[in-house]
Amino acid sequence: MSLLDDTMRVAMSDLYYMRRNAWVLIATSLVTPLLYFVAFGLGLGGAGVEMEGYGYVAFMIPGVVALTTLTSSFTTIANKLMIQKRFYESFDELMLCPISKSSIILGKAVLGVVKGSLCGLLLTVLGHFLSGDMQISVWLILMVIFSTFVFSMLGVAAGMIVKDLPRMNAFNSFVILPMTFLCGTMFSLRAMPDAVRYVIEALPLTHATECIRALALGTEFPWPSLLAMVLFGVAFYLIAQYALRRSN
């Protein structure tokens, strides 16, 4: 209880920020996925393209939802932490409070979970109306939220480790951007050469996409992918812990 209570205390300033800027933050996070819906969904879907036995729109929408859980959570957290550490220098104040490092890490992830979940769930509902094949269930909602948690932890780890804005931009360009295109979000991985597929399967967004797509389309749930997501979450948390201890 104490961990949860302290986590929410850490998260409060970010939640105030979210409350003040909710519409702007959510609207800007939805622009890119909506463009994907229009450009790829209507463009390829309208041309009658099928993927893995589904209409392209039904195939693509869960991928875009998974992609949004990454981009809206990671970007928000990593950038906010960078600003709080490097520009506002308000992060130091956390180190002066009687709060555990675990609570600081989890608390800093909350904004990403809230924002990422709102965006992911809005797109899920929208996708449900755009594609008759997509089902909404409690498990799908929970998976979207869990996915935002894992990517928020990635954001915290990156925000703790990356030293400055140019390096954060480099991290975005070399790690996040390739993930958005390569992890089976909009195209099937089956067409990829084996060697490339092995690399792609080592990336967390691939597993988030697999899990969300399975729940949305009602196919067999990929338990190994869920396990991989849990392991990624734990790894990102441990990296953030290490970075925080080192910085002190």
Site residues, other proteins (CB under 8 A): 9-10, 12-13, 16-17, 20-21, 84, 88-90, 92-99, 248
Count of residues in the chain: 248
Based on CB atoms, which residue is closest to other proteins, 96 or 138?
96
Query: Considering the complex, what minimum distance in angstroms separates the CB of residue 246 from other proteins?
Result: 12
Based on CB atoms, which residue is closest to other proteins, 159 or 233?
159
Tokens standing for residue 8: 């929410």
Residue 200 · residue 184 · CB < 8 Å: yes
Query: Considering the complex, what minimum distance in angstroms separates the CB of residue 89 from other proteins?
Result: 5
Query: Considering the complex, what minimum distance in angstroms separates the CB of residue 20 from other proteins?
Result: 7
Based on CB atoms, which residue is closest to other proteins, 91 or 237?
91
Based on CB atoms, which residue is closest to other proteins, 65 or 114?
114
Based on CB atoms, which residue is closest to other proteins, 5 or 220?
5
Query: Positive or negative, the Cα torsion across 113, 118, 119, 121?
Result: positive
Helix (H, G, I), strand (E, B) or coil at 139: helix
Query: Considering the complex, what minimum distance in angstroms separates the CB of residue 18 from other proteins?
Result: 10
For 128, other C-beta atoms within 10 Å of its C-beta total 16
Closest CA to 60 of 118, 134, 135, 149: 134
Query: Considering the complex, what minimum distance in angstroms separates the CB of residue 70 from other proteins?
Result: 24
* Contacts of 152 by beta carbon, 8 Å cutoff, 6+ apart: 73, 74, 77, 109, 110, 111, 112, 113, 116
